[in-house]
Amino acid sequence: MDIRKSGHLYTLTNSKGASVVLSEIGAGIVSIIVPDREGKLADVALGYDDPESFIKDGPFMGRIPGRFANRIALGKFTLDGVEYNLPINNGPNHLHGGPDGFAEKVWESRIVDDAVEFMYFSEDGEQGYPGNLKAVAHYEWSEDNELKLTMTAECDAPTVVNLTNHVYFNMDGEGSGTILDHMLKLNCSEYLPTDDTQIPLGDSEPVAGTPMDFVNSKPVGRDIRADFEPLKIGNGYDHCWVIDGAEPGQLQAAAKLWSEKSGRLVEIFTTQPGIQVYTGNWLAGCPVGKKGHVYGNNYGIALECQHFPDSPNKPEYPSTVLRPGEVYEEAIIFAFRTVE
């Protein structure tokens, strides 16, 4: 594996010429260059050429949001009898760790063997969260075009943690149009319905018989404009699905996304219990993309493996509490292949 650093960027290239570019800004994924069925390489990750565009860009392009990815209702949660107040930055709610969360920070970095590791130290009280927390994002790129992200964290006081990566995919190549004709398959027979501010109502519901059903693969856009309230709320898909068979610490298949046009496919495995599918419903108006490309709505899809939104306020959900002496550890694998 060839790993080179230039400025704030790391480029990992395998012997087949497929490569990944990572950034110290938000410990982010800047590009993923993989072959189509004919062997032609293209960048399947949306992003920007200007590093400054990654800061406070709206879509959280390619970066790791934190301390808590996704939404926390009304920016409040109670832990061990103490109520914590977080900044509101998404309607009435707190989103992705707040307006100055992990995705906006420059992480420390180093090369470790054939991997790149990023570290961020979040001080007690930052964006309202309790405890000094050390977060580490460890990326490996394989000869088989698999990108493995391992996220760990430790804290000196009880806190809540939920980490993911917010990369947007277009398997025909970034800037090539919408992903509505991409095929998507989710290993998820239930999803979390939400209120009109996209906070889960509580219990999951079956996807069967609804536009949320991707148990059998179908085009992303087939039902995206269906007369279905959850899709109206999000202007498309922006919900958390419950991964079938998820067990703490165990890798489980979560999703497959592919383009029948290019033949590029990504299969996603994770230790996390949920996957937020966001079809880039508000990408229009974001900073200019790579090579001057202007991204429109649905030009990319984010498949964010994570714990459930609003978990700190939902004791029935898998816990996101991290206590001193414990280690938060979750993994996501993006495995790139081709299909005929």
Which residue numbers are catalytic? 166, 304
Instruction: Show Cβ contacts of residue 6 under 8 Å, excluding neighbours closer than 6 positions.
Output: none
State how far the Cα of 180 lies from the Cα of 184, in Å rounded to an integer.
Answer: 10
